[in-house]
Structure 1
Amino acid sequence: MIAPAKVNLYLHVAAPDDKGYHPLQSLVVFADIGDEIALEPKPSGHELKVHIDGSFAPGLDAGESNLVVKAIRRFEQATGLTVSADIRLTKVLPVASGIGGGSADAGAILLLLRQAYAPDMPDSDLEALAAAVGADGVMCLWARASIAEGYGERLTSVSVPAMPAVLVNPGIECPTPAVFRQYDAQGIFENIEAKQLFSSISSTNALIAALENTRNDLEAPAIALRPEINDVLSMLKAQPETAFARMSGSGATCFALCHSDEDAETLSRRLDELMPGAWVRACRLG
């Protein structure tokens, strides 16, 4: 199963509330690329094994701190079952990169677990498990274009055109907690409401016009911590195939929207040459 990359086309973040959490509003879409995860059930008594391979496997822990394992444990607690299985996770997406890799992996394994062990589990119960794993859990579980609100758990499906795009990560991690601390230190909190701009989007041009009136509030604090992000954005915006560019999530991955698959492929090839060492992928968002 593919655990697709998540992209925040805009991300508006309010001041922390009395719980210390940040209410937000975001238009999230998903790519046709992502990590790959497979589950092979084994006889009862078989020890759970998680195997991680792929470009971004080095350094990843396959133990209890891994979000896939956390999702499995939540599933076991909720169902009273013991998962006896081999899990294979192929990490294609950069780690700590603002495109939901870990949450997508957790969502994918929950879907596979339900299919294999609890086919009658209601969607609402599965959503509760995903939400308990992480703030992006529910949106990454279903991987549908949505307006996310609350802390990211309240989703309203939206219709957006399929968009050719290029994802670029400069090869750095950008931990979310540090970005939020920097954001709070800046102390600038704007109105987060923008979903009305996306009530009727029928073309890429209309989507881009709406996005021009939005922000990613975490972009400036992320750049303050990782100036390489600004280098990526400047490079993207200077390319003729780029129709719109922005950072996704808390970074460091940035995206460029293009008007055609050919433009996206051309841009991807050029960026591979201009930015050796960066992770660059052409894809479609939707």
Structure 2
Amino acid sequence: MSLGVVPERVRVRAPGKINLFLEVGAVHDDGYHDVATVYQAVSLYEEVVASLDDEFSVRVVDETGRPVAGVPDDDRNLALRAARMVAREIGYLGGVHLDIRKAVPVAGGMGGGSADAAAALVACDALWGAGLTSLALHEMAARLGADVPFALLGGSAVGTGRGDRLSPALARARFDWVLVSRTTGLSTPAVYDELDRLRAASRLDIAPEPGVPEVDPTVLAALRSGAVDTLASGLRNDLQDAACSLEPRLRDVLDAAAGAGAVAGIVSGSGPTVALLAADADSARRLEHDLGAAGHRARHVYGPVPGAKVMHR
């Protein structure tokens, strides 16, 4: 491969996501589940700076510059695996150093690690002058994890299969959310295992629907119209009972949010981040303030926003 003139470093920003709808099918023999979900990318971003280097390495800090506990800095790191994947794809023999600044909660059900991986794909493609197509990047993203393709795409989208088969969803309006996060995360496999356990224990109210999971058209209609109340009525997460079973205090957050004026609330993905839908931006700022005053880690965000992209400043 001929690199030509390439930059010494590239900065890419990728958003976290919330699941507005998540229907989970029955478990397969391989341990995976088919899902039907609606993703929305929100204005809480991971930033990855890729710099030319002889070796592959990664450093992970939070928004204050402090090291982030619980995120590996070796080949278990999804962003580093993404960088190595691009290198193999294009036959690049050098390395890269990745500086990751995290804002999305770790193990919070918002796809922070997936956003890191998507950002690393885009950053290494630009850094090494690879010129990979969107399709090639998407195929690599799907091999890295079910949420990585959406972190590339951004906006709002329907995900099927394991969540990686994407169809963009038209969203004409902005939706305002308040995210309530916890200092400790939840393991996605553990939450799925808990869902299977609850279903096996004859919790008929959370049993999988027969057939292939499907998205409720109400959610898609709400995205098109911008109707907050309609979206609120369609919010669903089949993993919510399992996440609350493992972390019962999540129900306290949902109850407190309802009393503080949230239109609706839902556990994001596998949790434990709770996404609270607000009527508008002013309502979201008030909700953020009130929940913060009550001792919760609350943050106002909005969506949809674009997926992973190179930042030129």
Same fold per TM (> 0.5)?
Answer: yes
- Aligned partner (choices 167, 177, 185) of residue 165 of structure 1: 177
Counterpart check, 1:189 vs 2:208: yes
Equivalent AA in structure 2 for residue 233 of structure 1: L
Q: Give 1:48's aligned residue.
A: 56
For structure 1, the residue ranges without an aligned partner over 5 or more in a row are: none
Counterpart check, 1:220 vs 2:241: yes
Residues in 2 aligned to 1:198 and 1:59: alpha-carbon distance in whole angstroms: 34
Residues in 2 aligned to 1:126 and 1:137: alpha-carbon distance in whole angstroms: 10
Q: Give 1:270's aligned residue.
A: 290
Deviations 1:77-106 (A, max 9, x none): 222213433321011121111000000110
SS at match of 1:95: coil
Q: Is the 8 A contact 1:25 1:149 kept in 2?
A: yes
Q: Is the 8 A contact 1:9 1:211 kept in 2?
A: no
| Aligned residue pairs, count | 279
Q: Give 2:104's aligned residue.
A: 93
Correspondence 1:169-180 to 2 at 5 A = 169-180=181-192
Shift of 1:12: 0.5
Counterpart check, 1:245 vs 2:257: no
Q: Is the 8 A contact 2:21 2:219 kept in 1?
A: no
SS at match of 2:43: strand
Deviations 1:174-201 (A, max 9, x none): 1111111111112221253234334444
Q: Is the 8 A contact 1:107 1:142 kept in 2?
A: no
- Aligned partner (choices 224, 229, 232) of residue 250 of structure 2: 229
Deviations 1:193-217 (A, max 9, x none): 2343344444432x54245245200
Deviations 1:197-250 (A, max 9, x none): 344444432x5424524520000011001112111111112112x112111100
- Aligned partner (choices 61, 77, 80) of residue 66 of structure 1: 77
- Aligned partner (choices 137, 142, 152) of residue 131 of structure 1: 142
Q: Which has the higher strand share?
A: 2
Deviations 1:33-73 (A, max 9, x none): 2221111224xxx2233222115713422111111111112
Counterpart check, 1:148 vs 2:168: no
Residues in 2 aligned to 1:168 and 1:199: alpha-carbon distance in whole angstroms: 24
Q: Is the 8 A contact 2:182 2:272 kept in 1?
A: yes
Equivalent AA in structure 1 for residue 293 of structure 2: E
Q: Is the 8 A contact 1:32 1:284 kept in 2?
A: yes
Q: Is the 8 A contact 1:2 1:33 kept in 2?
A: no
Shift of 1:280: 1.8
Q: Is the 8 A contact 1:8 1:249 kept in 2?
A: yes
SS at match of 2:98: strand
SS at match of 1:238: helix
SS at match of 2:300: strand
Residues in 2 aligned to 1:195 and 1:124: alpha-carbon distance in whole angstroms: 28
Residues in 1 aligned to 2:88 and 2:249: alpha-carbon distance in whole angstroms: 42
Q: Higher mean Cα deviation, 211-220 or 107-116? A: 211-220
Equivalent AA in structure 1 for residue 60 of structure 2: I
Q: Is the 8 A contact 1:170 1:229 kept in 2?
A: no
TM-score (norm 1): 0.91
Q: Give 1:82's aligned residue.
A: 93
Equivalent AA in structure 2 for residue 100 of structure 1: G
SS at match of 2:237: coil
Q: CA RMSD in A?
A: 1.8
Residues in 2 aligned to 1:83 and 1:104: alpha-carbon distance in whole angstroms: 24
Shift of 1:24: 0.3
Q: Is the 8 A contact 1:25 1:193 kept in 2?
A: yes
Equivalent AA in structure 1 for residue 299 of structure 2: R
Equivalent AA in structure 2 for residue 52 of structure 1: V
Equivalent AA in structure 1 for residue 255 of structure 2: S
Shift of 1:9: 0.7
Moved >3 Å (runs of 4+): 198-204
Change (3 A) 1:232 1:23: same
Q: Higher mean Cα deviation, 64-73 or 183-192? A: 183-192
Q: Give 1:279's aligned residue.
A: 297
Q: Is the 8 A contact 2:22 2:238 kept in 1?
A: yes
Q: Is the 8 A contact 2:218 2:230 kept in 1?
A: no
Equivalent AA in structure 2 for residue 6 of structure 1: K
Residues in 2 aligned to 1:66 and 1:118: alpha-carbon distance in whole angstroms: 23
